[in-house]
Amino acid sequence: MSENCDQNCNGCQENCSDRKEEFDFSAPANEFSQVKKVIGVVSGKGGVGKSLVTSLLAVQMMRKGHATAILDADLTGPSIPKAFGLKEHAMGSEEGLMPVYTKNNIGVMSINLLLENESDPVVWRGPLIAGTVKQFWSDVIWGDVDYMFIDMPPGTGDVALTVFQSIPVDGIIVVTSPQELVSMIVKKAVRMANMMNIPVLGLVENMAYFKCPDCGSEHRIFGQSRLESIAAAYSLPILGRIPIDPKIAAACDAGKIEECEGDWLDRAADMLIRSVNKDDETAAGSTSDAEKAATEEKGSGTMKIAVATDRGSVTEHFGHCENFMIFSAENGKIIGEENCPNPGHKPGFLPVYLDERGVNVIISGGMGGGAVDLFNEKGIEVVTGASGDMRKAAEAYLSGDLKSTGSVCHEHNHADECEN
């Protein structure tokens, strides 16, 4: 409870545990705004490139001919105006506040466009931040917008949550970088999204690699990415990978992000366009965009699928199988296989063993619930309920035809330890 509490919950925006009445956090849109799709861009912490991805997504959609806007909700680190070289102040009238438009007509509202001096620090606490973001939604005359991108406050805590409660967000894109604890961040973002009933549309990896300007070879500066397996574990598509590129940093610094060339977010743009088109179709029974894109992702890039086998067929008892046949796949096709005899059945050992071999997906007939959790913690997807020829099972997975039944092995019901 705040020290200024007057026990009158009506009108108070603090989300405190002593609240007596439910407060409706949702804010109405401005009467002169028609925004078709609102996409929140989130990250686990500051500095991973959330604002960069927000800006590049807006630029990409603008280049495809859509009316685009950015609501900069990162009030304590607003970097959108700088990336677009916006220096003027936002102007207001009786009807509301006008966004400032970039060279290519992207509407932007940011606290930096209202401050006397753009370097003034904003050291507000959560409720004030959320209240201001709400005003950016309700008091700004956005006009007709096809795609609005919200540069969210960093993190997946209270402030982000309250912003999501205020604005009708249609989907979330999570930005990660390879030097973070990606699996934890994705888990938190998915949990927050579930609480709000908002779908996570996919993941974007920033600073994924560095391409040598002389020889063109790609270097993983922060080590091998674990994003693929984490995306597979949560059935989320990877919507793009952005390299570390001094030209990107220079473009942000010079306010010329609209001139930045790169097809890194093409997949994200296509997914967003599909999601708007889908609104015209009947939703009933149709596969979600995230699922469709996840299936597409299975058909692109490289991955390793371990099938627990007995004499060439998918085994029923994961931990006691004879072999793990590890299929390497590229662009949806099997390009190699490696037969690994089962090294033995010790609790907790196989998840480590298969993770070290770079496996992204396990296919089995059944598996103990404890083992499923251990694999998922490592970002490895588990598909159970499979049977028959091992290669056909892997191919069915790649084509999106093999769905997990979630079948848990009941023969060994001591859940946490069983790996069967």
Which residues would be at the binding site for ligand ADP (CB under 6 A)? 43, 46-52, 77, 79, 206-207, 242, 244-245, 248-249, 252
Smallest separation, CB 317 to ligand ADP (Å): 46
Say if residues 173 and 42 touch (Cβ distance below 8 Å).
Answer: yes
The conformation of residue 280, written as its DSSP 8-state character, comes to: T
Q: Which two tokens stand for residue 195?
A: 């609480």
Smallest separation, CB 112 to ligand ADP (Å): 12
* Rounded CA separation 272/298 (Å): 19
Q: Which two tokens stand for residue 398?
A: 């790649």
Say if residues 324 and 315 touch (Cβ distance below 8 Å).
Answer: no
Smallest separation, CB 189 to ligand ADP (Å): 14
Q: Which two tokens stand for residue 11?
A: 């009108």
* Rounded CA separation 25/229 (Å): 36
Residue number, 23 or 210, with CB nearest to ligand ADP: 210
The conformation of residue 340, written as its DSSP 8-state character, comes to: E
Residue number, 79 or 420, with CB nearest to ligand ADP: 79
Smallest separation, CB 358 to ligand ADP (Å): 25
Residue number, 264 or 324, with CB nearest to ligand ADP: 264
Q: Which helix (H) or strand (E) holds 323?
A: strand 323-330
* Rounded CA separation 62/25 (Å): 30
Amino acid at 412: H
340's CB contacts (< 8 A; 6+ apart) are 306, 323, 324, 325, 326, 357
Phi and psi dihedrals of 343, rounded to 5?
-75, -5
Smallest separation, CB 159 to ligand ADP (Å): 14
Smallest separation, CB 362 to ligand ADP (Å): 33
Residue number, 205 or 316, with CB nearest to ligand ADP: 205
Smallest separation, CB 118 to ligand ADP (Å): 14
Residue number, 153 or 237, with CB nearest to ligand ADP: 153
Smallest separation, CB 383 to ligand ADP (Å): 34
Smallest separation, CB 377 to ligand ADP (Å): 26
Handedness of CA 333, 339, 345, 350 (dihedral sign): negative
Give the position of tokens 């069967």.
420
Smallest separation, CB 209 to ligand ADP (Å): 10
Spatial CA neighbour of 97 closest among 84, 116, 106, 110: 110
Residue number, 48 or 308, with CB nearest to ligand ADP: 48
* Residue 3 vs residues 7, 159, 226, 361: alpha-carbon distances, Å: 11, 20, 45, 52
* Rounded CA separation 374/386 (Å): 20
* Rounded CA separation 175/190 (Å): 12
* Rounded CA separation 111/121 (Å): 10
Residue number, 268 or 390, with CB nearest to ligand ADP: 268
Residue number, 209 or 327, with CB nearest to ligand ADP: 209
266's CB contacts (< 8 A; 6+ apart) are 60, 240
Residue number, 33 or 102, with CB nearest to ligand ADP: 102
Residue number, 133 or 350, with CB nearest to ligand ADP: 133
